[in-house]
C-alpha cells in the first residue's frame, strides 16, 4: 500500500503541475498544447495510462485486503470503545475517503478522458464542467477527500517503509501535511476559481498553487456568495466559447 | 514498589488532614463481562457496590466483589493478575472502553479507586482480539505472544555472567533505545487498543531491543522474519499507523519501534543470509 500510494502521490504532483497550465494564460492554449503533447506520445501514452491504472487497482486491492484482514482480526467488538486520542479524523476515515476518491476518479475519467474531445479544446471542456454547480461540487468534494486521505497517507507510508525514526518523525509529519495541503488545495483551486468566475477577472491568471490558506478561504467564500455573478459570467463564458 | 508508595501516601494524606470527603466510600455500578468458557456466549452482568474504599486498587475492588459473590454462592469473576505492581504484564481488562483504563502509562493493577467518581458506572470487558480468545470471563489467552517470542525473540549466544562495564562497547543512544523497547511487559494492551487488533507494537519492541544490541546480531535477520511470520499466523490485524497502541501502552513503548521493525524486516528480506 505504501509503495503504490507514494507512486500515486508522484503522479498527482505531475498532474497538478500539468493542470496549472490552465492558469498560465486566459485562452487555455498552453493547457491544450500540453494535452496535445501528451497525446502525441501515441502508444507510449497508453503504456503510461495502463501503468497508472495498474497502480491504482493494486492500491485498491491491497487496501481491500488490509481492511478485510483487519475486520477479521476482531470479530467480537467492544461494547464500549474509547480512543486514546492518537488516531486522527483522517486516519480513522481512510476507507471512507478512499471510496470517495475512487468514485470521484471514475466520474473524472468519464468527464475528461473517456468522453469525445470537444472541438473547442480540453481547456474549454474543463472550464465548462467546473463552472457547473454540480461539477464544482463533485470536484471540490473529490479533491477534499483526497486531501484528507493524503494527510494520513504520507506519514503512514513512511512509517510502513521504515523511513521514520525519532529524528525524522517531525519533519516527515510536516512533509505529510504539506503534501496534503499542496495537493488538496492545489486541485481545489480549479473548481473554486472557475465556479466563482474569478478566472475571468483580469488578474486571475496570476493565481498559483501557493495561495495562502486565508486567500483560499476567501475564494471559497466567494464561490458561495457569488452565485448571481456566476450566472452572468458563465453565460458570457459559453458565448465566448461558441 | 510504587503501589505500596501510593497506598502509604493515600493513608498519610487522609490521616493528617482527616479529610473526610477523601475517605468517603464510593458507590459503583459495574457491568462485567461474564463468559463461562471459550465457546460459551458471553454477556454483561451488573453488580452494585456501595462501599468501595478509594484506597483500594482496581483489582482489590474486584477481589472484594468476588468475596461477596463467593459468600453468596455465586461463581467468582475470573481475571488475570500477578505482581500487582505494574511490572509483570499479567493484568489486563478493558475498563470503560480503554485497555488498562484511562490513566496513561499505567497498568490495571496500578489504578486506584480514588480516580473514579461516586455513582460512576464502569464497563469491564476482556481484551478483545481473535488472536486473544477469551478463556473465561475477563481472562484471555495471550499465548500467541509466547509463540511469537518462541519463533525468534531470543539469542542463542552464551551471554555468560555480567561482563565488566565498558568491556562491550554499546553507544548510549542504542542502549537507551534498547532499554526503552525492553520495557515491554507483553501485556497485550497494544493489540487490545488497536482498531485492527495488530500486534506490531509488541513484535517491534521485542525485535528492536535485540536488534539494537551486539548480543542480538547473530540472529538479527532470521529473528525478524520468523517473528513476523508467526505474528501473521496468529491472526493479528495489520498496522495502519494510527498510534493508538503507543497511547495505550502502560510502558510507553514508541511507534518508532514499528518503523524499526519495518526497517529490520526489509533489511532481512534484502539480505542473502
In CATH, what number is assigned to the domain containing residue B265?
A: 1.10.1060.10
Q: Which range marks the domain in which residue B87 is found?
A: 2-135
B208 CA to chain A: closest CA distance, Å?
A: 12
| Grid coordinates of B34 | 461474564
Looking at B135, B161, B195, which one is the last position of a domain? B135
Question: Are B141 and B234 in contact, with CB atoms under 8 Å apart?
Answer: no
In order of their start, the domains of chain A are 2-69+90-241 (1.20.1300)
How many CA atoms lie within 13 Å of A136's alpha carbon, on the beta-carbon side?
20
Residue from A207, A186, A177 nearest A139 by CA: A186
With an 8 Å Cβ cutoff, is B215 touching chain A? Answer: no
Relative to beta strand B121-125, strand B26-34 is: parallel
Q: Residue length, chain B?
A: 273
Based on C-alpha coordinates, what's the Rg of chain B?
A: 21
Are both B181 and B231 inside the same structural domain? yes
What average pLDDT does chain B have? 92
**pLDDT-based confidence at B58, cuts 50/70/90?**
very high
Are both B123 and B166 inside the same structural domain? no
pLDDT of residue A200: 54
Looking at B135, B167, B189, which one is the last position of a domain? B135
Residue from A148, A152, A230 nearest A191 by CA: A230
Tell me how far apart the alpha carbons of residues A127 and A131 are, in angstroms, rounded to a whole number.
6
Q: Residue length, chain A?
A: 242
Are both B164 and B45 inside the same structural domain? no
Looking at B81, B113, B135, which one is the last position of a domain? B135
Are both B125 and B232 inside the same structural domain? no
A79 CA to chain B: closest CA distance, Å?
A: 8
Residue from B96, B34, B99, B39 nearest B69 by CA: B34
* B259·A76 Cβ contact <8 A: no
Are both B67 and B184 inside the same structural domain? no
* Burial (CB count <10 Å: 0-12, 13-18, 19+), residue A141: middle
Average pLDDT over residues B65-71: 98
Spell out the per-residue pLDDT of chain A, length 242, in tens: 999 999 999 999 999 999 999 999 988 999 999 999 999 999 999 999 999 999 999 999 999 999 999 999 999 999 999 999 999 999 999 999 999 999 999 999 999 999 888 889 999 999 999 999 999 999 999 999 999 999 999 999 999 999 988 888 899 999 999 999 999 999 999 999 999 987 653 333 333 333 444 444 444 444 444 444 444 444 444 444 43
| Out of A83, A161, A163, closest to residue B244 by CB | A83
Are both B18 and B53 inside the same structural domain? yes
Are both B121 and B214 inside the same structural domain? no
As for how many domains chain B has, the answer is: 2
Are both B103 and B11 inside the same structural domain? yes
Are both B63 and B109 inside the same structural domain? yes
* Residue B48 belongs to domain with CATH number: 3.10.20.30
Are both B46 and B166 inside the same structural domain? no
pLDDT in tens, B91-116: 999 999 999 999 999 999 999 999 99
A95 phi/psi in degrees, rounded to 5: -70, -45
| Grid coordinates of B122 | 464502569
* B247·A84 Cβ contact <8 A: yes
Question: Are B28 and B65 in contact, with CB atoms under 8 Å apart?
Answer: no
Are both B107 and B218 inside the same structural domain? no
Are both B130 and B150 inside the same structural domain? no
Contacts of B264 in chain A (CB under 8 A): 162
3-state secondary structure (DSSP) of residue B106: coil
| Out of B193, B238, B244, closest to residue A69 by CB | B238
pLDDT of residue A175: 96
CB pairs under 8 A between A and B: 110
Contacts of A88 in chain B (CB under 8 A): 242
pLDDT of residue B159: 81
Relative to beta strand B94-95, strand B121-125 is: antiparallel
B18 CA to chain A: closest CA distance, Å?
A: 36
Amino acid at each position: 500500500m505504501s509503495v503504490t500510494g507514494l507512486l500515486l502521490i508522484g503522479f498527482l504532483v505531475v498532474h497538478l503541475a500539468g493542470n496549472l497550465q490552465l492558469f498560465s494564460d486566459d485562452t487555455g492554449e498552453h493547457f491544450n498544447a500540453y494535452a496535445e503533447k501528451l497525446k502525441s506520445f501515441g502508444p507510449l501514452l497508453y503504456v503510461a495510462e495502463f501503468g497508472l491504472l495498474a497502480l491504482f487497482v493494486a492500491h485498491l486491492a491491497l487496501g481491500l485486503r488490509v481492511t478485510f484482514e483487519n475486520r477479521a482480526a476482531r470479530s467480537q467488538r467492544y461494547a464500549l470503545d474509547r480512543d486514546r486520542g492518537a488516531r486522527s479524523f483522517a486516519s480513522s476515515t481512510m476507507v471512507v475517503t478512499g471510496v470517495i476518491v475512487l468514485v470521484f476518479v471514475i466520474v473524472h475519467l468519464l468527464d475528461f478522458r473517456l468522453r469525445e474531445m470537444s472541438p473547442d479544446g480540453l481547456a474549454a471542456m474543463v472550464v465548462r464542467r467546473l463552472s457547473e454547480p454540480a461539477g464544482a461540487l463533485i470536484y471540490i468534494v473529490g479533491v477534499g477527500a483526497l486531501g484528507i486521505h493524503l494527510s494520513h497517507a504520507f506519514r503512514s507510508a513512511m512509517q510502513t517503509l521504515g523511513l521514520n525514526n525519532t529524528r525524522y518523525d517531525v519533519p516527515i509529519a510536516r512533509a505529510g501535511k504539506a503534501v496534503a495541503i499542496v495537493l488538496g488545495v492545489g486541485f481545489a483551486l480549479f473548481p473554486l476559481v472557475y465556479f466563482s468566475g474569478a478566472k475571468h477577472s483580469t488578474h486571475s491568471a496570476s493565481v498559483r498553487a501557493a495561495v495562502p490558506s486565508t486567500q483560499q478561504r476567501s475564494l471559497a467564500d466567494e464561490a458561495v456568495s457569488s452565485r448571481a455573478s456566476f450566472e452572468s459570467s458563465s453565460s458570457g463564458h459559453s458565448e465566448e466559447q461558441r | 514498589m510504587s503501589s505500596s508508595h501510593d497506598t502509604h501516601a493515600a493513608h498519610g494524606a487522609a490521616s493528617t488532614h482527616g479529610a473526610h470527603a477523601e475517605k468517603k466510600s464510593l458507590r459503583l455500578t459495574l457491568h462485567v463481562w461474564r463468559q463461562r468458557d471459550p465457546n460459551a456466549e458471553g454477556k454483561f452482568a451488573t453488580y452494585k457496590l456501595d462501599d468501595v474504599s478509594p484506597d483500594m486498587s482496581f483489582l482489590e475492588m474486584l477481589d472484594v466483589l468476588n468475596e461477596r459473590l463467593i459468600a453468596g454462592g455465586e461463581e467468582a469473576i475470573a481475571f488475570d493478575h500477578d505482581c500487582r505492581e505494574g511490572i509483570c504484564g499479567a493484568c489486563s481488562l478493558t475498563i470503560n472502553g480503554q485497555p488498562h483504563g484511562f490513566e496513561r502509562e499505567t497498568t490495571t493493577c496500578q489504578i486506584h479507586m480514588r480516580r473514579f467518581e461516586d455513582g460512576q458506572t464502569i464497563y469491564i470487558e476482556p481484551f478483545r482480539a481473535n488472536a486473544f480468545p477469551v478463556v473465561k470471563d475477563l481472562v484471555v489467552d495471550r499465548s500467541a505472544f509466547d509463540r511469537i517470542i518462541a519463533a525468534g525473540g531470543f539469542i542463542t549466544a552464551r551471554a555468560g555472567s555480567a561482563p565488566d562495564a565498558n568491556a562491550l562497547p554499546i553507544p548510549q543512544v542504542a542502549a537507551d533505545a534498547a532499554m526503552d523497547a525492553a520495557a515491554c511487559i507483553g501485556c497485550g494492551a497494544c493489540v487490545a487498543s488497536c482498531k485492527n487488533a495488530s500486534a506490531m507494537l509488541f513484535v517491534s519492541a521485542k525485535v528492536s531491543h535485540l536488534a539494537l544490541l551486539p548480543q542480538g546480531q547473530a540472529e538479527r535477520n532470521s529473528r525478524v522474519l520468523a517473528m513476523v511470520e508467526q505474528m501473521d499466523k496468529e491472526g493479528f490485524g495489520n498496522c495502519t499507523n494510527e498510534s493508538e497502541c503507543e497511547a495505550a501502552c502502560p510502558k510507553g513503548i514508541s511507534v518508532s519501534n514499528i518503523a524499526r521493525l519495518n526497517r529490520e524486516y526489509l533489511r532481512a528480506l534484502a539480505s542473502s543470509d
